[in-house]
A = this chain, B = another copy of it.
């Protein structure tokens, strides 16, 4: 099977944006075309990862609008939705389109416009991905995060501070990301004294609601050098589901979708956790960074917190995690988040991460839908 390369990538300013979804997608799409020096009408396929433009803005058919805006007609287009992991799913779909031979040049654009909604309105849309009984009983994704965090801390006798340190680290990394929603240093005290959201988790344990977009351009590796010297290669990509009803899981501190998608991605890439030099994890809640570290084999079960306490996941540590600032500081525009994760790893692989650059030959991104209901893991390597 021929390998697939990423020859272009972009992301727009994440935060509160005065632009509707169509404009956000077009901005990322145009920047990505520019990054690779290609035109819209060079595209064979154009995929859009987006969870809910219909619910958030009353707009569907957005991929067609984007094909118009990028001058991509008659490129084939469709929307990929896997709720909060739509960006990872879109990356997998774009990879499939090239790997299958259906397309020689595929662009994926992920985006979401959310901040015009109140938190309650946005929660209504996001919570529609959970089992209806869960939401009816008042259990939202943050509730699951709180319960899981309490369980983890007690089970492994971990200090509350270790979770807060994830937030502190990711906010520090975000200072160097010009696209991040919050470029703001946060100290331990601020996290620990912020308002309680879902005990023991507090405001600064959560990512914000965000508008934004990001894009990737994929082609067969054999022709990548014709476009650019700055390309990376997708060596592993896979996705997996866990139970739709969260309480049906055997162990709340193990995310089955993370474990299984990671296992498959490692196998495809011929890599082990030890080979990964940099990772973007889905830190929608601080506790999720622990669970992904353990699920992906970066730490033994119950030991992610000690790695964080020891500074191993900081930018200068053994395995830098979320050099981009993560969802925590960068923001979480649902359909864009997974794409922006790959953007960061691609920049790291091509040596173009600027002040965020670390030494890395192999990178991994993990995008989590729902509370781990569906997860995609992607491994990128230097060309």
Interface residues of A (CB under 8 A from B): 1, 51-52, 54-55, 58-61, 63-65, 67-68, 72-83, 86, 89, 92-93, 95-97, 99-102, 125, 128-132, 237-245, 256-257, 260-261, 369-370, 373-374, 376
Nearest residue, chain B, Cβ from A86: B78
Given A60-B51, A61-B373: A239 and B129 interface contact (C-beta under 8 Å): no
Q: Other CB < 8 Å A-B pairs besides A54-B125, A61-B369, A75-B240, 20 of them?
A: A52-B60, A54-B55, A60-B129, A61-B128, A64-B129, A64-B374, A68-B245, A73-B242, A76-B241, A77-B374, A78-B86, A78-B92, A78-B239, A81-B81, A93-B96, A96-B96, A96-B102, A99-B100, A99-B101, A102-B238
- A83 CB contact (under 8 Å) in B60, B242, B257: B60
Nearest residue, chain B, Cβ from A45: B239
8 closest Cβ pairs, A-B complex: A61-B129, A76-B239, A99-B100, A100-B100, A74-B240, A68-B244, A79-B81, A96-B96
CB-CB < 8 A to A101: which residues of B? 1, 99
- The distance in angstroms between the C-alpha atoms of A129 and B63, with both chains bound, is 10
This chain: how many copies in the complex? 2
Instruction: State the main secondary structure of chain A at its contact with B.
Output: mixed
Nearest residue, chain B, Cβ from A81: B79
- The distance in angstroms between the C-alpha atoms of A369 and B61, with both chains bound, is 9
- Residue pair B65, A93 in contact (C-beta under 8 Å): no
CB-CB < 8 A to A75: which residues of B? 240-241
- Residue pair B132, A61 in contact (C-beta under 8 Å): no
Nearest residue, chain B, Cβ from A51: B60
- A79 CB contact (under 8 Å) in B60, B63, B82: B82
Nearest residue, chain B, Cβ from A260: B74
- The distance in angstroms between the C-alpha atoms of A244 and B83, with both chains bound, is 25
CB-CB < 8 A to A63: which residues of B? 82, 374
- The distance in angstroms between the C-alpha atoms of A243 and B75, with both chains bound, is 11
- A74 CB contact (under 8 Å) in B68, B77, B83, B241: B241
